[in-house]
Amino acid sequence: MRCNGPGTRVLVAISGGVDSSVAALILKSKGFHVIGVTLKMWDDFLSKDAKAVAEFLDIPHHIVDVSDSFRKEIVSYLVDEYSQGRTPNPCVRCNAEIKFRYLQDIRRKLEVEYVATGHYARISIDPSTGRFLLKKGKDDTKDQSYVLYRLTQHDLASTFFPLGELTKGQVREAASEASIPVANKDESQEICFLSGTDYREFLKKYQNMVIEPGPILDKSGRILGEHRGLPFYTVGQRKGIGIPGTKRLYVTEIDVSRNALIVGEEKDLLSREFEVHDVNWIINPDPRHRMRLGIKIRYNAKEEPGLILPKSRDMAKVIFDKPQRAITPGQSAVFYDDDVVIGGGIIV
């Protein structure tokens, strides 16, 4: 059982946005001793809003520079994945490898009991096993459990998600009623370090990455045109391929070995089976039996039923009941039992 009585110390990640600000507000209003921390992840990072929120809530506030690790582990990962013809999700990796890793380190150094963030997700305890469960947020339109599937039992045991039972509308209302300085701040919809820059332009500038053009092929190997460089494309893309004609063509495969873009019709995007690696199992660390679960293959995708067949502790085969469109290497497949996250991994 987790202690959450008055005076319990909680380290709250404050980004300067509405969600993290209301998370801190809720915990303080419940009698927790709240300590704010802002992780500086990128060179053009601005902490003004985070400082303003901490001052408004009258809580101590720390700024911790993690930009070196962020550059090595997240930015370089994004560049490497695109160079290998995959489409990464840096937010998934960042949550586990940067945000929660550093939050837990800071929590231990400050001798604080818990960490908290403004994610829309929930944590509960399975009474039959005593293990912690990661669950979807109540607001289906804001649920962020997908990007948190890499959290461990250790993470969940010392984490609060104060917004898990709330809708975005309720959070906005709470911010307005409390007159939080960022109550009307727009929500960020992009990868934090791109700052409005298209990721393709970022790739060209980052460490002078060489992006070479190459052939566009149909599935029979016939050359249809020339692509601008493989990182400019992703599986399922239709617009911007640059092939004249009336027939709708889609990117169906990115072949790094030939520096070739493979295109086809929309039906060629459909498939049922794929494998995932680097799997994180939240509840059972070493499942041995097949499981019927709901599966999401991207953050905004609809959950679809299928079979999960574990092949090892960190690999599994996935078989959808029905063919799905544009299963994309590099993205995450996350497995759900109703509203509980069972685990997930990277699509091979």
The predicted-structure confidence for 196-238, as pLDDT tens digits, reads as follows 677 877 887 776 677 899 999 999 999 999 999 999 899 999 9
Is residue 132 a contact partner of residue 88, using CB atoms and an 8 Å limit? no
Average confidence (pLDDT) over 126-153: 96
Is residue 171 a contact partner of residue 19, using CB atoms and an 8 Å limit? yes
Reported as a single tens digit per residue, the pLDDT across 295-337 is 999 999 999 999 999 999 999 999 999 999 999 999 999 999 9
Reported as a single tens digit per residue, the pLDDT across 13-66 is 999 999 999 999 999 999 999 999 999 998 767 788 999 999 999 999 999 999
* pLDDT band, very low/low/confident/very high, at 189 (cuts 50, 70, 90): low
Average confidence (pLDDT) over 233-259: 91
Domain 211-264 homologous superfamily, CATH: Adenine nucleotide alpha hydrolases-like domains (2.30.30.280)
Q: Which residues are catalytic?
A: 94, 192
Q: Name the pTM for this structure.
A: 0.93
The answer on pLDDT for 260 being more than 90 is yes
Reported as a single tens digit per residue, the pLDDT across 51-101 is 999 999 999 999 999 999 999 999 999 999 998 999 999 999 999 999 999
Average pLDDT of the chain? 93
Max alpha carbon distance in the chain (Å)? 69
Beta strands per DSSP E along the chain: 9-13, 33-40, 61-65, 114-116, 121-125, 132-136, 159-160, 214-217, 223-227, 250-255, 260-264, 270-281, 291-296, 304-312, 315-325, 332-337, 340-347
The strand pairing partners of 315, in sequence order, are 277, 312
The dihedral through the CA atoms of 257, 259, 264, 268 has a sign that is positive
Q: In the CATH scheme, what is the code of domain 269-347?
A: 2.40.30.10
pLDDT at 1: 42
Is residue 55 a contact partner of residue 62, using CB atoms and an 8 Å limit? no
The strand pairing partners of 304, in sequence order, are 295
pLDDT at 209: 74
pLDDT at 7: 85
For the chain, what are the domain ranges?
9-194, 211-264, 269-347
9-194: CATH topology is Rossmann fold (3.40.50)
First vs last C-alpha separation in the chain? 38
3-state helix, strand, coil in the chain (%, to 5): 30, 30, 40
The whole-angstrom separation of Cα 313 and Cα 120 is 28
Q: Which residues contact residue 241 at a Cβ distance below 8 angstroms, ignoring those fewer than 6 apart?
A: 216, 225, 227, 233, 249, 250, 251, 261, 263
The answer on pLDDT for 152 being more than 90 is yes
